Amino acid sequence: MADIIFKLRVLRMLLSGTFDQWKCDVWRRDLDASYCCDGRECGCMATTVRELYSWHLKDHPHVTP
């Protein structure tokens, strides 16, 4: 029983971190804003938040950003 409780505590910790990251990366941002830069610094080609997560949801749901 102690193992199950520990595993559930780990799950809660992981989900909490994921939720906090989602709030920062998606919820609080303009979906049409650049995800990271203007496209010249890292090669992202000025991908917007919407484009990035649309790609993940439609084409590659198993890959995380």
Instruction: List, for residues 28-59, the tens digit of each pLDDT value.
Output: 999 999 998 888 888 888 999 999 889 888 87
**Mean pLDDT calculated for residue range 14-27:** 92
Q: What is the mean pLDDT of the chain?
A: 89
Residue 56: per-residue pLDDT: 83
Q: Tokens standing for 8?
A: 């559930």
Q: DSSP string spanning 17-54?
A: HHHHHHIIIIITS-TTSBSSSSSSSSS-TT-BHHHHHH
Q: How confident is the model at residue 63 (pLDDT cuts 50, 70, 90)?
A: low
pLDDT at position 61 is 66
